[in-house]
């Protein structure tokens, strides 16, 4: 093993550990804002693993779409809604926790068995392999798939505007009420007038 392979192996283990730790934080933390930030860490770690696999376009798309668009949209939705609710303790909650842990452990064992059983032998690259994948995919996106690409961007914009409108809907009546009361003169409370009249002031 030379120095380059050793750096790749160490980088893979660091990125894998970071991704697993961030994923556990997303699931286990009760603060949803911290979970959203850790979800961005998961996406960034996955982009690093894609770079180790020489998938430069997939890594760039991972950062731009998942971290720069979806994760930011989730954070905007959380910040705009900003509704805090105290979760009450449900009866038999420990049963749900144990059943969830059993299901997760079963999925982990199943995926681990699939990783062990699957042959990961690397075949020699053929001469038909395209080196500049980003250029080829970009040409297809802006020629053959231009209409679906633009429709997807418009759909994401509509979803973001709808989320903002739904999140800010609760604050509109309060703003209207403040504007109406700002145009009227403040009235003196009747209880205070009666009290001062009774004391002779």
Encoding tokens for residue 172?
């509109």
Instruction: Kindly state whether residue 128 falls inside one of the protein's structural domains.
Output: no
User: For residue 40, which of 28, 50, 25 has the smallest C-alpha distance?
Assistant: 25
pLDDT at 176 over 60: no
Do 78 and 151 have their domain in common? no
Please identify which residue in the block is written with the tokens 């080829």. Answer: 136
Instruction: Kindly state whether residue 179 falls inside one of the protein's structural domains.
Output: yes
Do 73 and 150 have their domain in common? no
With contact defined as beta carbons under 8 Å apart, do 137 and 57 qualify? yes
pTM for the full predicted model: 0.58
Instruction: Kindly state whether residue 131 falls inside one of the protein's structural domains.
Output: no
Do 1 and 78 have their domain in common? yes
- Report the pLDDT averaged over residues 142-155: 85
Instruction: Kindly state whether residue 59 falls inside one of the protein's structural domains.
Output: yes
Instruction: Kindly state whether residue 196 falls inside one of the protein's structural domains.
Output: yes
pLDDT computed for residue 79 by the predictor? 75
CATH number of the domain that 25 lies in? Answer: 1.20.120.1200
Instruction: Kindly state whether residue 177 falls inside one of the protein's structural domains.
Output: yes
Count of structural domains within the chain: 2
pLDDT at 145 over 70: yes
Residue where a domain terminates, one of 66, 82, 98: 82
Residue where a domain terminates, one of 53, 82, 111: 82
pLDDT at 161 over 90: no
Instruction: Kindly state whether residue 118 falls inside one of the protein's structural domains.
Output: no
pLDDT computed for residue 190 by the predictor? 54
Domain that holds residue 67: 1-82
More confident residue, 77 or 37: 37
pLDDT computed for residue 166 by the predictor? 72
Residue where a domain terminates, one of 82, 108, 135: 82
- DSSP letter for each residue of 4-45: HHHHHHHHHHHHHHHHHHHHHHHHH-S-HHHHHHHHHHHHHH
Instruction: Kindly state whether residue 101 falls inside one of the protein's structural domains.
Output: no
């Amino acid at each position: 093993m030379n120095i380059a392979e050793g750096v790749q192996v160490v980088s893979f283990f660091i990125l894998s550990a970071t991704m697993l730790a961030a994923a556990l934080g997303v699931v286990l933390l009760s603060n949803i804002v911290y979970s959203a930030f850790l979800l961005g860490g998961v996406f960034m770690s996955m982009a690093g693993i894609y770079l180790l696999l020489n998938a430069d376009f997939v890594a760039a798309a991972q950062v731009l779409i998942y971290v720069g668009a979806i994760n930011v949209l989730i954070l905007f939705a959380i910040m705009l809604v900003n509704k805090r609710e105290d979760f009450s303790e449900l009866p038999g909650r420990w049963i749900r926790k144990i059943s969830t842990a059993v299901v997760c452990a079963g999925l982990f064992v199943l995926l681990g068995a699939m990783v062990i059983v699957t042959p990961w032998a690397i075949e020699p690259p053929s001469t038909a392999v395209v080196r500049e994948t980003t250029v080829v995919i970009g040409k297809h996106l802006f020629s053959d798939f231009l209409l679906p690409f633009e429709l997807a961007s418009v759909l994401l914009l509509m979803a973001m505007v709808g989320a903002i409108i739904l999140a800010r809907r609760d604050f509109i009546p309060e703003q209207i009420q403040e504007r109406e009361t700002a145009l009227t003169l403040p009235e003196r409370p009747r209880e205070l007038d009666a009290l001062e009249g009774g004391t002779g002031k």
